[in-house]
Amino acid sequence: MKFLCTFPLFAALLLGSIPAHARDEHLSLPLKEALETPAAQSKLDKGVKLYFGKQKHPKPSKTLGEWKTNKKTNAFNKTDKEACEWTFLSAVLELQERARKEGGNAVINIVSNYKSHEKSSETEYTCGAGGLMAGVAFKGTVVKLP
């Protein structure tokens, strides 16, 4: 009888000591697709331009500073792509908001900065995808373009 009472406790301790291996994949996803989602089309401010990586842009008349974003979302019951595109939108909206606040009209040299690992690309962004969360982090320079 005593064994039956202590077995569940023993089993819980044993299972609790097994290391958990959470999924944390760093995905490279297409910028074009993320920028063309219906949510992005309806929410992005067309008055604040976004230039990723080394995309050509007019010479800034004023540089207003470098800013970082780090957005996460619940990935439960979403595909990695859906969760990443939602988080991507949150991150670029934050960059646009910062540009407006600082008096800028563009964000240039936007690079992925997930877990402080920079990746510059004109065509892709990095998203960290796990079983429960997805994350996108950017770094970009807010400027005033003529």
| pLDDT score recorded for residue 15 | 46
Neighbours of 76 (CB within 10 A): 9
| pLDDT score recorded for residue 60 | 98
Distance of CA 59 to CAs 55, 117, 142, 144, Å?
Answer: 12, 27, 12, 9
| pLDDT score recorded for residue 23 | 79
Q: Each residue of 110-139: b (16+ CB within 10 Å) or e?
A: bbbbbeeeeeebeebbbbbbeeebbbbbbb
Single-letter code of the amino acid located at 58: P
| pLDDT score recorded for residue 131 | 85
| pLDDT score recorded for residue 5 | 52
**Which structural domains are found in the chain, ordered by start?**
23-144 (3.30.110.70)
| Contact between 110 and 139 (Cβ < 8 Å) | yes
| pLDDT score recorded for residue 93 | 98
Q: How far from each other are the two terminal CA atoms of the chain, in whole angstroms? A: 82
Digit-by-digit pLDDT tens for the chain (146 residues) are 554 555 554 455 444 444 445 778 999 999 999 999 999 999 999 999 999 999 999 999 999 999 999 999 999 999 999 999 999 999 999 999 999 999 999 999 999 999 989 999 999 999 999 989 999 999 999 999 99
Q: Which residue has the tokens 């960290």?
A: 128
| Contact between 89 and 95 (Cβ < 8 Å) | no
Q: CB under 8 Å to 84, separation ≥6 — which residues?
A: 27, 29, 34, 127, 129, 134, 136
| pLDDT score recorded for residue 49 | 98
Pairing of strands 133-144, 25-30: unpaired
